[in-house]
Structure 1
Amino acid sequence: MDTQQRIKQIVDENNVVLFMKGTAQFPMCGFSGRAIQILKACGVGEIKTVNVLEDDEVRQGIKQFSNWPTIPQLYVKGEFVGGSDIMMEMYESGELQQLFAAA
């Protein structure tokens, strides 16, 4: 299975996936840490996190998969949502909470 197939499988099999640097317990960059805080503030219980620092193929592959140059990347129900800036904007507008309520 190639990297793109592996990424697709992870995204398809989990309702909420965050590709990030580090883990939910120990984020390795400020943006990833902020993304986790936003998800917790939304009351998201189950978050599948993928530490891109542990897998260079995924770290590069996720950027091609989403056509998005930065990490973290949030996926909800198989759909790419965005990075931490977009997550913050959506959180502040209430849009992110609605997305999780629907999911």
Structure 2
Amino acid sequence: MDTQAKIKEIVSSHPVVLFMKGTAQFPQCGFSGNAINILKAAGVENLHTVNVFDDENIRQGIKQYANWPTIPQLYINGEFIGGSDILTEMFESGELQKLVKA
């Protein structure tokens, strides 16, 4: 399976997916840690995380998948939402909470 197909499968088989550096328990960058904290605060229960350090192909491939140069990347119901800054803005406006509850 090629990397893009693998990413598509991950994104479509979980309602909420965060591609991040490190794990939810041990984020390895501040932006990934911020994303985890925001998702917890927004009440996300079924969060599936993918540590991009575990697979170099995924680490590079995810950037092409959404045409977004940075990690973390959040997907909800198969749709690319954004990175850490966008999550922060959406959380502050209440938009993220609505999305995750929908």
Question: Normalising to structure 2: TM-score of the pair?
Answer: 0.99
Q: Distance between the aligned counterparts of 2:72 and 2:17, measured in 1? A: 10
Structure 1 residues not aligned, in runs of 5+: none
Cα drift, residue 4 of structure 1? 0.2
Residue 60 of structure 2 corresponds to which residue in structure 1? 60
Q: Distance between the aligned counterparts of 1:29 and 1:22, measured in 2? A: 7
Q: Paired residues, what number?
A: 102
Cα drift, residue 46 of structure 1? 1.1
Structure 2 residues not aligned, in runs of 5+: none
Residue 21 of structure 1 corresponds to which residue in structure 2? 21
Provide the identity percentage. 70
Q: Please tell me the root mean square deviation across aligned C-alpha atoms, in Å.
A: 0.4
Q: Distance between the aligned counterparts of 1:32 and 1:99, measured in 2? A: 19
Question: Which amino acid in the other structure matches residue 46 of structure 1?
Answer: N
Stretches (4+) displaced over 3 A: none
Cα drift, residue 54 of structure 1? 1.0
